[in-house]
Structure 1
Amino acid sequence: MRVPTWHLFAFTLLHELQSHDPHDQQVIDGFTEKILTQQYLGFTAQETYKLIGRALKSEEPLNDPTLHQRHPEHVSRDFLLRLRQRMDDLRPWPELPYLKVQTWPYSRIKRARPVARIPLDYLLVQERLLRSFDHMYMNSRKHMILCLSLPSGSQVALVTCREEGEHDEDVTVLVRRRTHAAEVLAELQAVTGLEVEPTA
């Protein structure tokens, strides 16, 4: 049976909460900041707010029953309620300069055009952007991929190959078409602050 998205979200968030004091306001503020600025668990603030609402309306246990729980159910529910209230306090929420989007399918990545490089290891790029890379196997090799949507609506894919023992320090920037690539790269550099070096 497929677990609903809101339930997986609650399981994951509350599991992370196990190492924190749920009554500490700084913990609430820390989670709120991640939600509003970092697409916490891959969701926008609007999506997260709805997921928390769905969780609070449910009568099902929100703590993962397969794991030992430091905090009882009523404490977890109270934390989610206060987290949502803190999000309300901080409205209007900031517009994010870029969004992580669903990883492009293999067929789209194969057709995409490499137009630039970022002279950093993907782990450093991940740290700078506060967005995690996903992995995909292409031609039997493991690649790390992060797809972003920019304010204009343009999308880019940041790709690097990472095999065991390899240390590829460059991240390649892919676009769907070379047309307007210069404008897309300028926008990418402006909103991320990353050094982007055109290669074509």
Structure 2
Amino acid sequence: MKNDTLNSPKKSTSNSIVGAGVLAALAASLCCITPVLALLGGISGIAATFSWLEPFRPYLVGASVLVLGFAWYQKLKPQPTAQMDCACEKDEKPSFLQSKAFLGTVTALAVILLSFPYYSGAFFPKVSPATALTSPATTTVHANIYVAGMTCSGCEHSVNNALRQTPGVIAASSSYSTGMAQVTYDKSKVDLPKLAQKVTAETGYKVTRFEEVNQK
């Protein structure tokens, strides 16, 4: 009974440490997960909801790594001899929540969350508009749309998807590092202001300005 009382706070602390590591990993990836959830759920305008977390991402990633690293240290470090001498503790089988298998599962989940921005594009549909094959050069326009709030590749895919799904768009490519989306469209089927409105309505990111580009 005494040993159970002493170990209970220790187990609770261990679970709290592991939980903190997963929460940090989730928060670090939330700005990139939200656009995918918006797409899968068919919910427009929420992709940019957690973009404010992006400046904190390096700290959250570091916190997740440190916390889970400490949890593994606690799990793998040699146990004090005094504890090994107690037959009741030696025979006690740890619960799954206290096992290495559980910690390994949680660590794998954290890795999946932290690396999400690098494979988030797999969730977005590949679109090849038929417009690209039919639009004459006289109605084809190249333009730049400046989008505020993009912070990762997940944001890029969200903006690209909103543009490529629009009838009349031939091609679209965006970059979060430059804050700009480049789009080629058929002006007889859609205009630039409507494309800018489409980006804002579908993603929630703010379009600051847009312009046509002369192609040589």
Which of the five TM-score ranges fits, normalised by the shorter chain? 0.3 to 0.5
Higher relative contact order (CA 8 A, sep 6+): 2
Which structure has greater helix proportion? 2
